[in-house]
Amino acid sequence: MAALDAAIHPVSSENTMLYFVIRRTAFAAVLLLVISAFTFWIFSALPADPAALTCGKNCRPEVIEANRERLGYDRPILEQYGSYMKGIFAGRDYGEEGASIHCSAPSLGYSYDRHECVTTLIAKTLPVTASLAFGAFVLWMAIGIGLGTMAALKRGRWPDRLATGFSVIGVSLPTFFLGLIFTMVFIIWTGLLPFPQYAGITENPGKWFSSLILPWFVLAIVSAATYVRMTRNGMLEVMNEEFVRLGIAKGLPRRRLIVKYVMRAALIPIVTIAGLDFAFLLGGALVTESIFNLPGLGKLTLAAVVNSDLPILVATTLVAAVFIVVANAIVDVLYGYLDPRVRVK
């Protein structure tokens, strides 16, 4: 048993994990700073004039120029970026003195198209996207890992063929197509579910669940298809390793060998991909939210693209980047916990 554990968990110093976490956290903070600067510069270089977007189509040039000065768009880009970052930590006032609008920290801008602080808009839409992301994530991990494990343990038999067929079908179906099919079958034809009208879980739990059940399964089926193949191939590869044969030779119970050693080793690459997929989903499931009329972050971003609402576009891009970078850091820490060799590297 000691030999088997040693094969999987090489000896490392007790402080290695702490240093690894500190190093990854510092790298994530620097990366977020770079992304924020690059994102702000990209959107400032767009041909759309944010000052012109603050008034109607018939706005006079002198009014546009006055808005540009009032909003600070005439200042150098570095000064604008500094004011933006200061607003994130200390809040910011938008408009002229005496008629300004204050957006509390973290201030991600002010939408003159919607006449509301961008942080407030994100606070309204993020719970919808988070509800969609968490539910879909739990479903696709349960389906993907469950079917993949069954396919690996029953290799060449009907459960393996069933899981492989599900994987092929799931990968072949785009999200929008599957969403429309589910809508037609379960809402229009059979009437088993009402058309989604989102309500917060604290307001109406039943309505919250019924509005998300179909989007959960749409995202879960499409995403789980990839995890079925990854789990199956990963487990088959690990089961051919020498330490597994050593465990069998020593009489280790099959269930314990599979759960404690084979699955732990096989799940390392799956944890990496799952964390990033979840972060992308938190950044806004644009297609799914649009199909099922969910007022989430993806739908907010789509409306901002249509209306050229640059403050919202900058903010949603930064929010999505934060989710991805933080998830990547968490995945790296989990990776280091599952495989101690990564900490040393």
- Residues in the chain predicted with pLDDT less than 50, given as ranges, are 1-4, 6-8, 10-13
Q: Within a domain: residue 126?
A: yes
The answer to whether residue 81 is domain-embedded is yes
Give the gyration radius of the chain's Cα atoms: 25
Quick one: pLDDT at residue 143?
Answer: 92
In this structure, is residue 10 part of a structural domain?
no
Position 298 in a domain: yes
Cα(106)–Cα(84) distance, integer angstroms: 10
Instruction: Confirm whether 165 is domain-assigned.
Output: yes
pLDDT at position 11 is 45
Angstrom distance (rounded) from CA 149 to CA 155: 10
At 67 the pLDDT is: 74
Domain count, the chain: 2
pLDDT at residue 345 in the model: 56
Identify whether residues 65 and 167 lie together within a single domain.
Answer: no
Q: Which domain range does residue 87 map to? A: 16-115
**Same domain assignment for residues 205 and 305:** yes
Residue 159 and residue 28 share a domain = no
160 and 55 both lie in a single domain = no
Classify residue 261: in a domain, yes or no. Answer: yes
Confidence (pLDDT) at 131: 92
Residues 237 and 267 in one domain: yes
The DSSP H or E segment spanning 16 is helix 16-44
pLDDT at 124: 92
Residues 133 and 217 both lie in one domain: yes
pLDDT of amino acid 170: 85
Residues 23 and 143 in one domain: no
- 218: domain CATH number is 1.10.3720.10
Domain boundary among 67, 88, 115: 115
Which of the listed residues 99, 115, 131 is the one where a domain comes to its end? Answer: 115
Domain identity same for 67 and 158: no
Task: Assess if residue 156 is contained within a domain.
Answer: yes
Q: Look up tokens 């209306």; give the residue.
A: 307
Domain shared by 99 and 128, yes or no: no
In this structure, what token pair is assigned to residue 21? 């976490």
pLDDT at 248: 75
Sequence-distant (≥ 6) Cβ neighbours of residue 217 within 8 angstroms: 139, 182
Predicted local distance difference test score (pLDDT) of residue 6: 47
Confirm whether 28 is domain-assigned: yes
